[in-house]
């Protein structure tokens, strides 16, 4: 296997009640964990979403309300899933755009944020699209000479994604073999993205700015001065939990910075006054 792993790499896939990150829910989550020595460990959970699965969606992935009626909720298994993934990097098919933001949102929703700091994210679809421009089924046929027989089962799709990824490494000599390089190559995040949904980003000066809507390109600090209510509107609106969490952290940092500057200015004025009364 032409792959250099410093730590495990977890391929994963979600089946959900729909595609709206802030409204829909996970009904199945599956992982294939690839260890540095080449061994694999697979794990899959059915999840009771707490809402009805639309018939049109159930027809696609075959998971009905009846199938998940006795399954645990995400909140009940969140810690088990986090423990299984451990410190591994994450990989999937279209995962940077869909699965990762969706999973992050769901874990925030149940009050058990999925730790993302320090991980690399490899998107096999982005590698494929940059090289060949095809779908997962076509990728499986193209790279592995195999036909997908059980699409839309999360564990099956995850295994297919891993097989395609390994075939990509063998086919393209120019691809890096270490995970940070592959994560960078397969990234589709906006330049300087701060949150997984890409609503916030960093400008060339490293300042956090809005990356959408009427204030796109303006820093959070600028918008606080121009339209103070925009921050509150965003927290109340239908944005991902993780986006709101990043925004809260930036506003808190700006307020703390402002207080520190005020304190420094007051100390400077006090020093100036004190110096006037000092004996020569």
Whether 100 and 132 have beta carbons less than 8 Å apart is answered as no
Q: Is the pLDDT of residue 280 over 60?
A: no
Residue ranges per domain, the chain?
9-186, 200-276
Query: What pLDDT band is residue 276 in, cutting at 50, 70 and 90?
Result: low
Give the pLDDT of residue 262. 78
Q: What is the pLDDT of residue 191?
A: 59
Q: What is the pLDDT of residues 28-78, one digit of tens each?
A: 999 999 999 999 999 999 999 999 999 999 999 999 999 999 999 999 999
Give the closest residue to 11 by CA, choosing from 161, 188, 117: 161
| pLDDT at residue 59, rounded to an integer | 92
The CB-based long-range contact list for 125-130 (8 Å cut-off, 24+ gap) reads 125/93, 125/94, 125/95, 125/186, 126/96, 126/185, 126/186, 126/187, 126/188, 127/165, 127/168, 127/175, 127/182, 127/185, 127/186, 128/164, 128/168, 130/185, 130/186
pLDDT in tens, 103-161: 999 999 999 999 999 999 999 999 988 887 668 888 999 899 999 987 789 999 999 99
How far apart (Å, rounded) are the C-alpha atoms in residues 55 and 142?
32
Rounded CA-CA distance 131/66 in Å is 41
What does the pLDDT look like over 54-68, one tens digit per residue? 999 999 999 999 999
Query: pLDDT (tens digit, 9 = 90+) per residue, 164-221?
Result: 999 999 999 899 999 999 998 888 665 578 998 889 999 989 999 999 999 999 999 9
33 pairs with which residues across the strands? 10, 41
Distance, in Å, from the CA atom of 171 to the CA atom of 177, rounded to the nearest integer, reads 12
CATH topology of domain 9-186: Nucleotidyltransferase; domain 5 (3.30.420)
Per-residue pLDDT, 125: 92
**Predicted local distance difference test score (pLDDT) of residue 189:** 65
- Ramachandran region, residue 147 (left: φ > 0; alpha: ψ -120 to 50; beta: rest): beta
Cβ burial of 121 (10 Å; 0-12, 13-18, 19+) is: buried
* The pLDDT of residue 260: 83
Torsion angle (degrees, nearest 10) of CA 104, 106, 112, 114: -20
145 Cβ neighbours under 8 A, 6+ residues apart: none
pLDDT at 277 over 70: no
Give Cβ neighbours of residue 121 (< 8 Å, ≥ 6 apart).
89, 90, 91, 95, 96, 100, 183, 186, 187
Say which DSSP state 185 is in.
Answer: H
* pLDDT one-digit tens code per residue, 84-97: 999 999 999 999 99
Three-state DSSP at 141 gives helix
198 Cβ contact list (under 8 Å, min separation 6): 189, 190, 211, 212
The whole-number pLDDT of residue 136 equals 87
Alpha carbon distance, N-terminus to C-terminus of the chain: 79
Tell me what the mean pLDDT of segment 4-25 comes to.
95
Retrieve residue 120's tokens: 């690399």
Q: What angle do CA 108, 159, 115 make, to 5 degrees?
A: 20
Q: Does residue 1 register a pLDDT over 60?
A: no
């Amino acid at each position: 296997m032409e792959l250099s792993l410093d730590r495990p790499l977890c391929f994963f896939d979600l089946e959900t009640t729909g595609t709206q990150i802030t409204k829909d829910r996970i009904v199945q989550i599956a992982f294939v964990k690839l260890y540095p020595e080449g061994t694999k460990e697979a794990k899959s959970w059915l999840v009771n979403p707490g809402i009805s699965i639309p018939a049109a969606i159930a027809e696609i992935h075959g998971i009905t309300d009846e199938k998940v009626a006795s399954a645990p909720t995400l909140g009940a298994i969140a810690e088990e899933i986090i423990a299984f993934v451990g410190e591994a990097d994450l990989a999937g098919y279209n995962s940077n755009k869909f699965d990762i933001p969706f999973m992050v949102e769901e874990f925030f929703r149940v009050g058990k944020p999925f730790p993302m700091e320090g991980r690399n994210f490899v998107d096999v679809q982005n590698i494929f699209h940059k090289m060949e421009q095809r779908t997962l089924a076509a990728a499986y046929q193209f790279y592995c000479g195999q036909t997908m027989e059980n699409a839309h089962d999360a564990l099956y799709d995850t295994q297919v994604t891993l097989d395609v990824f390994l075939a990509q490494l063998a086919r393209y000599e120019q691809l890096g073999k270490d995970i940070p390089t592959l994560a960078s190559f397969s990234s589709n995040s906006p330049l300087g993205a701060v949150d997984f949904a890409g609503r916030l980003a960093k400008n060339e000066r490293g300042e956090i700015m809005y990356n959408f809507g009427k204030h796109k390109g303006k820093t959070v600090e600028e918008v606080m001065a121009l339209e103070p209510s925009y921050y509150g509107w965003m927290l109340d609106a239908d944005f991902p939990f993780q986006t709101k969490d990043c925004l809260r952290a930036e506003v808190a940092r700006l307020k703390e910075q402002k207080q520190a500057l005020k304190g420094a200015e007051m100390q400077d004025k006090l020093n100036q006054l004190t110096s006037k009364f000092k004996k020569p």
